[in-house]
Chains A and B, each alone.
Chain A
Amino acid sequence: MTLPRRSLFGPVAFAAVALLLAIVPLTAPPFWVTLGNYIGLYSIVALGLVLLTGVAGQTSFGQAAFVGIGAYTTAYLTTRYGTSPWLTLPMALVMTLAIALFLGFITLRMRGHYLPLATIAWGISLYFLFGNLDFLGGYTGLTGIPPLSLPGVELRQERHFFYLIWTIALCALWATDNLLDSRPGRAIRALKGGLEMAEAFGVDAARLKIIVFVYAALLACISGWLYAHLQRFVNPSPFGINQGIEYLFMAVVGGAGNVWGAVVGATLITLLKQWLQDLLPKILGRAGNFEIVVFGVLMILVLQRARDGVWPWLERMLPKRSKHVMQNATTLPARSRTAHQGQLLEIDKARKQFGGLVAVNDLSFDVRPGEILGLIGPNGAGKSTMFNLISGALPLTAGDVRFRGQSISALQPYEIARLGIGRTFQHVRLIGSMSVLDNVALGAFLRGKSGVVRAALRLDRKEEARIKAEAVCQISRCGLDSHTFDAAGSLALGLQRIVEIARVLASDPQLLLLDEPAAGLRYQEKRDLAALLRGLREQGMTILLVEHDMDFVMGLTDRLVVMDFGEKLAEGLPAQIQSNPLVVEAYLGGVE
């Protein structure tokens, strides 16, 4: 088995940037070295925001406060107790970890916009706390912080510090880029596409959001630790809310979808600020931080006109990443399929009430192993509600749902996914900007184990190769080979639905739940879909299909359950259903 080759673009770009950076301190005037130091420090913070905002769809205005935690922890410990700076770094990281975990825990479990608002509030609080605590020197701050020293060198000079900062910055970029191209990375990217989808593939969304927030906070803390030893004094002003907002601007202007966006944004904003602070007082004839007006306007224009920032525009000028799939990797081991005695899925008097409305009224039916069961009914019959009760998207009011004899009615969607129930969505939920390959690989999330740390350090390659091989295998099973590397959003709706099926197949399900898979499809697309589903049944898959297209289900399903007004109207073979007067009446209206 050969491991996949990494595409050329990554290492070449890193080497080129590293080389360029290596010669800066040797040739550039001191002013530019100083500026370079700051750009490096800011890039590290902005990088965390790229992951948090651009990729995971959350945001924080309080990163400057985490920078402050890093800076003040080391400043206090080194000046007061003479602790070695190399010891204060882990201490600062632990402290940041604790605070970020706490903030993440109270805000990210809720779905809403509480994190950004909480970070504004906490950013302001911390600033005033720094300024009012006597042992931290109040608003004057702490001075006399010792320089960092490596064996043989004391990093007193800006030039020396430059290497340290950029080594750390490049490592952080490398690790974050690795992370994005991995099992947890795909899950993080999936968060932005709606939590329901991520959870359907076994991602514990709340936990993952907290991890991302902590990751961003730790990067900010490292930047602060470096800052303290570069400046050798700290005061509260660089850790206020305005700086926190500027960090976010860096990430957004640079391009929050890519790790290099952080560097581009930090560079642009830092240079622009430098230039404006020289220029504006001359033009306006008045001092004041008027550059914030320019930043604000710039930001509004970027978000109105070019929401992806500057990076995609720069990227177009660079050579394209080569696309490759590793050939010889083996696919993932399939779930053991011990035969289960009896029904695969049992719905036992399931009931769902929304206030006074009974959407599903004590409905019972079974799904047998190896069959395609159709759940049909006119619009508003309660089919989708029933579907959501099985997948865990909605809690039951009463009754029970059992899978292989085990009750699943109290489980979260991601726990249900773990048991081997896979689903598709009525409205296609793919990550449009991600390739078909990555989208399908997300389906195999539960079949891998690599976490954030392994992924960031690139220790996950063996497993990653197998996940990708599995995805390729499912893509080809669904006949999508020619689209493997296309962005999922660029495909026609019919194909996107097939990609959803490939994705759910990658999770190796025992039961497939399909929510109106034929909706919006053209005739030929429906026929292809039906052929694909028949093929799956022949390979032993059990499928529960919610549909209201009668033609589609009649030729495909083994049995049908008909719902109307939340109740079971009929159950039987397609031919029986077709001639059932009650069903005809429900669909066509009765004769008065």
Chain B
Amino acid sequence: MNLTIAALLAQDGVTNGAIYALLALALVMVFAVTRVIWVPSGEFVAYGTLTLAALQLGKPPGTIGLLVGMAIIAGLLEIWSCLAAGQARQLPRRLTLWTLVPLAIAALVDWLAPLQLPLAVQIALTLAAVTAMGTLLYRIVYQPLAEASVLVLLIVSVAVHFVLTGLGLWFFGAEGSRTPPFSSASFQLGEMTVSAQSLLVVLTSVLLIFGLYLFFGYTLYGKALRATAVNRVGARLVGISPNLAGSLTFALATLLCAFSGVLIGPITTIYYDSGFFISLKGFVGAIIGGLASYPLAAAGALLVGLLESFSSFWASAFKEVIVFTLIIPVLLWRSLVSRHHEEEQ
């Protein structure tokens, strides 16, 4: 390996790592607020890419069917829970939120899909549709389980991963998609050729992370989520609804996932089931941060990206083995340094 190849691999690694970092942040956030180990996050990454790919071809994406289905299920659940609790007066508001809004997004995507609008609009549509799905997922699956143990929530997450993978095959088909790059420009940086695409990915990730920082640091909702993460009961006592916190977290996290999907689309071919490994790489990063520290999680994800890109050069057949085995030394290290008394849920 010479320096040029190393520089190229490093560039690849950082680009992928930036995307994994977004995911790792989403995973830490979801775990902190809702205690859900969100294994199916990767499916939303794949949905993001596949939706954008369909829009670029002017085809209505499979997302529409999924979104409509989830909106109907959520609507039925709302009708059921409102009637059971004798709160029929709240029903119109809740139905608007959980059924009509998602249906409107689906209709909009369906209507605009054949027009092949500019990329920015397509990305906006993708993000809206996928984010709506993630939020609905919280309502349908996790909200009824809000009091369950971490273990139950984890098993449920794995079950959701199964369901979303199967549905992905049905709605998007078995073929992979790759979206055209945002920009094909590249420029010299000393000896190194830097593609504008990579730069764009890293820059967008950094901007998003900064945006998150602002959201959590300076907005009321962001602070409410942080409060919930620190102490669920306490947050509830000061009037932060756990359902609001949960759905808001899922909305934000899915937005990050969908964004990752948009960013990764031009780099790798994405299939309906590609998401699982992507999310697990995010998890390896998140675990490096102990599922708690945002900066460490992002750094960990970057390390995963670099490791992946270098191992694909040296031993491409063992790429996944190497990346997933990284978790072993990480856990060993954490287990040796962490105090015995980490209290459990």
A residues near B (Cβ < 8 Å) are 53, 57-59, 61, 103, 105-107, 109-114, 116-118, 120-122, 124-125, 128-129, 132, 194-195, 206, 242, 245, 248-249, 252, 284, 286, 288-293, 295-297, 299-300, 303-304, 307, 393-395, 412
Contacts and interface: CB of A to CB of B under 8 A. Distances in A.
15 contacts: A57-B149, A113-B154, A117-B287, A118-B331, A121-B280, A125-B325, A290-B170, A291-B166, A295-B162, A296-B161, A297-B163, A300-B141, A300-B160, A303-B156, A393-B341
A112 B342 contact: yes
A453 B343 CA distance: 30
Interface stretch (B51-59, B295-303, B314-322): B314-322
B328 A122 contact: yes
Interface stretch (B196-204, B219-227, B260-268, B332-340): B332-340
B344 A112 contact: yes
B36 to A, nearest CB: 11
Contacts of B342: 110-112
A106 B328 contact: yes
Given A61-B158, A125-B321, A303-B156, A114 B343 contact: no
Contact of B170 (A103, A116, A245, A284): A284
Nearest to B316: A132
A122 B324 contact: yes
Given A242-B162, A245-B162, A300-B141, 12 more contacts: A113-B154, A114-B335, A117-B283, A117-B327, A121-B328, A132-B317, A290-B166, A290-B170, A293-B170, A296-B160, A307-B148, A307-B152
A18 B341 CA distance: 46
Interface of B: 37, 39, 141, 144-145, 148-152, 154-156, 158-167, 169-170, 174, 277, 280, 283-284, 287, 291, 317-318, 320-321, 324-325, 327-328, 331-332, 334-335, 338, 340-344
B331 A128 contact: no
Nearest to A115: B331
Contact of B174 (A129, A248, A288, A299): A288
Contacts of B159: 249, 295-297, 299-300, 303
Interface centre among A110, A242, A248, A249, by most chain B C-beta atoms within 10 angstroms, is A110
B169 A304 contact: no
A290 B169 contact: yes
Contacts of A124: 277, 280, 320, 324
A288 B273 CA distance: 12
Contacts of A128: 317-318, 320-321
Nearest to A287: B174
For the complex of A and B, the 4 pairs showing the least CB-CB separation, nearest first, are A293-B166, A296-B163, A296-B162, A299-B159
B276 to A, nearest CB: 8
Contacts of B328: 103, 106, 118, 121-122
A124 to B, nearest CB: 5
Contacts of B37: 113, 116-117
Q: Which of A125, A129, A245, A286 has the most CB of B within 10 A?
A: A125
A342 to B, nearest CB: 31
Contacts of A248: 155, 158
A322 B340 CA distance: 42
B331 A106 contact: yes
A116 B287 CA distance: 12
B155 A252 contact: yes
Most chain B beta carbons < 10 A, residue from A57, A61, A105, A303? A303
A511 B283 CA distance: 46
Which of B141, B155, B160, B321 counts the most chain A CB atoms within 10 A?
B155
B174 to A, nearest CB: 7
Given A121-B325, A304-B144, A109 B162 contact: no
A525 to B, nearest CB: 27
Nearest to B159: A299
B146 to A, nearest CB: 11
B334 A110 contact: yes
Q: Which of B144, B166, B318, B332: most chain A Cβ within 10 A?
A: B166
Nearest to A305: B144
A59 to B, nearest CB: 6
A114 B291 CA distance: 10
Nearest to B284: A121
Kindly name the residue among A57, A120, A248, A289 whose own CB sees the greatest number of chain B CB atoms within 10 A: A120
B335 A300 contact: no
Contacts of B162: 242, 245, 292-293, 295-296, 299
A103 B340 CA distance: 17
A263 B251 CA distance: 40
A292 B287 contact: no
Given A121-B327, A195-B344, A295-B162, A300 B169 contact: no
B161 A299 contact: no
A300 B163 contact: yes
Contacts of A57: 149, 151
Contact of B151 (A53, A105, A296): A53
A113 B150 contact: yes
Contacts of B141: 300, 304
Contacts of B284: 121
B324 A129 contact: no
A312 to B, nearest CB: 16
A125 B324 contact: yes
A122 B169 CA distance: 25
A78 B163 CA distance: 39
Nearest to A206: B340
A148 B156 CA distance: 39
Given A112-B342, A114-B287, A125-B325, A288 B144 contact: no
A111 B324 CA distance: 21
A292 B321 contact: no
A303 B155 contact: yes
Nearest to A288: B169
B121 to A, nearest CB: 32
B239 to A, nearest CB: 24
A129 B174 CA distance: 25
Contacts of A296: 159-164, 166
A125 B165 contact: no
A576 to B, nearest CB: 38
Contact of A293 (B167, B321, B324): B167
Contacts of A303: 145, 148, 152, 155-156, 159
A307 B170 CA distance: 29
Nearest to A103: B328
Contacts of A107: 331, 335
Contact of B155 (A59, A111, A132): A59
A147 to B, nearest CB: 32
Contacts of A307: 148, 152
A121 B144 CA distance: 29
Nearest to B277: A124
A245 B174 contact: no
B340 to A, nearest CB: 7
A122 B334 CA distance: 17
Contacts of B335: 105-107, 109-110, 114
A242 B152 CA distance: 18
